[in-house]
Amino acid sequence: MKIRKISVFQIDLPLSEPYFLSGGRLRFEKLDATFLKLETDNKVIGWGEATPWGHTYLPAHGPGVRAGIATLASSVLGSDPRKIEHVERAMDVCLPGHLYAKAPIDMACWDILGQVTGQSIADALGGRYERGTQVASSISTGTPDEMLDRVKRYRSRGYQVHSAKVGGDIALDLSRIDHLEKNRLPNEHMLFDANRSWSRREAIIVMNALPGLGVTFEQPVETIDDIAAIRPLTKAAISIDEALHTVADMTRIVSCNLAEAVNIKLNRVGGLTKARRIRDIALAHGIQCYVMATGGSVLADTEAAHLAQTIPETFRLGSWACQDMLTIDVAPGQGARSIEGVLTVGNSPGLGVAPDEDLLGTPVATYEL
């Protein structure tokens, strides 16, 4: 079996309302999505997606995905998509770094592997646990009352995990955290996500000001070095998100005891093949995991839901349904959907979802053997 053709599609995915991240420093209204279709010589089709969460969130952007695929295509065409680690190696030799551009190719290979072996991706990854994954809300930053209103909206739809975005004005952050925690229900889990916007000083002040609450802070500061610096100065639980890109980052996190949780975003770490290694290191060291898409449609959410559902429930903290924040659905009725705040993958072979090509329009690029 060989990869014969790669087709690349681009569409904008509008958000249902503007999104403000970390004290309003990032504001965006739509996502630049790339969909990738891999076709084999025996007519199997796999789908991938790469949708950065705006272009100011991570060193990843929509046009970069497509430029990366243009560079990678020749290294991938002719490969056997079932030999995913060979495809991974070919991509890493062809283009060091640029994990976010490799992720959709990796995703499409897993889709094909699942289809030809008659297994869901979760089963192909080692085995799916029965229960689906709690979906974390993504609470855009605002005043304490605005943020609580957003939590209540998600709560009414069954969500029990909330990722509230803080960062910026630390006095306001303290009142946000205090207000949300005082109104948290006993069955709810609240993550305060600074998206690396605090300085070391600000992080220490906020994280030590509310010692009785038992809350978790995600990516309070910019880098792993910053986290290592503040770590001995606070007792608050830490989740690492944007500073975790590679297996080497993960081994440093565990060897230096830098976090109680990690957030594995599939596009950021280069796809499922690399993400499963990070998962394994986390589990081997008792570190709990969020597994999420970096952003995007139901395809990206479903990919994340597959990996999430391979994690024992004790170690699985949540996923995300970015699809619920969009006004376009590229695969109506398919894939993992947020039902009562839970994403569950089905038994369908492969990814279990393919976009409606009429909605994607004409490919912006094709590469063929």
Binding-site ranges for Mg ion (CB under 5 A): 193, 218, 241
Tell me how far, at minimum, the Cβ of 262 lies from Mg ion, in Å.
Answer: 10
Tell me how far, at minimum, the Cβ of 195 lies from Mg ion, in Å.
Answer: 6
Tell me how far, at minimum, the Cβ of 219 lies from Mg ion, in Å.
Answer: 5
Residue 260, SS3? coil
Nearer to Mg ion, 184 or 196 (CB): 196
Q: What angle do CA 152, 158, 164 make, to 5 degrees?
A: 50
Nearer to Mg ion, 40 or 239 (CB): 239
Nearer to Mg ion, 28 or 129 (CB): 28
Structure tokens at 45: 């089709």
Tell me how far, at minimum, the Cβ of 293 lies from Mg ion, in Å.
Answer: 12
Query: Rounded to whole angstroms, how far apart are CA atoms 244 and 250?
Result: 7
**Nearest Cα residue to 80 out of 113, 102, 49, 103:** 113
Q: Write down the catalytic residue from 83, 165, 182, 274.
A: 165
| Angle, helices 99-117/298-308, rounded to nearest 10 degrees | 70
Whether residue 165 lies in the annotated active site: yes
Q: Is the dihedral of CA 223, 229, 195, 132 positive or negative?
A: positive
Query: Rounded to whole angstroms, how far apart are CA atoms 17 and 10?
Result: 21
Whether residue 83 lies in the annotated active site: no
Q: Which residue in the shown chain puts its C-beta closest to Mg ion?
A: 241
CA atoms in the 13 A half-sphere facing the CB of 72: 32
The answer to whether 140 and 150 are in contact (CB under 8 A) is yes
Q: Write down the catalytic residue from 37, 102, 265, 274.
A: 265
Nearer to Mg ion, 123 or 301 (CB): 301
Residues designated as active site? 165, 265
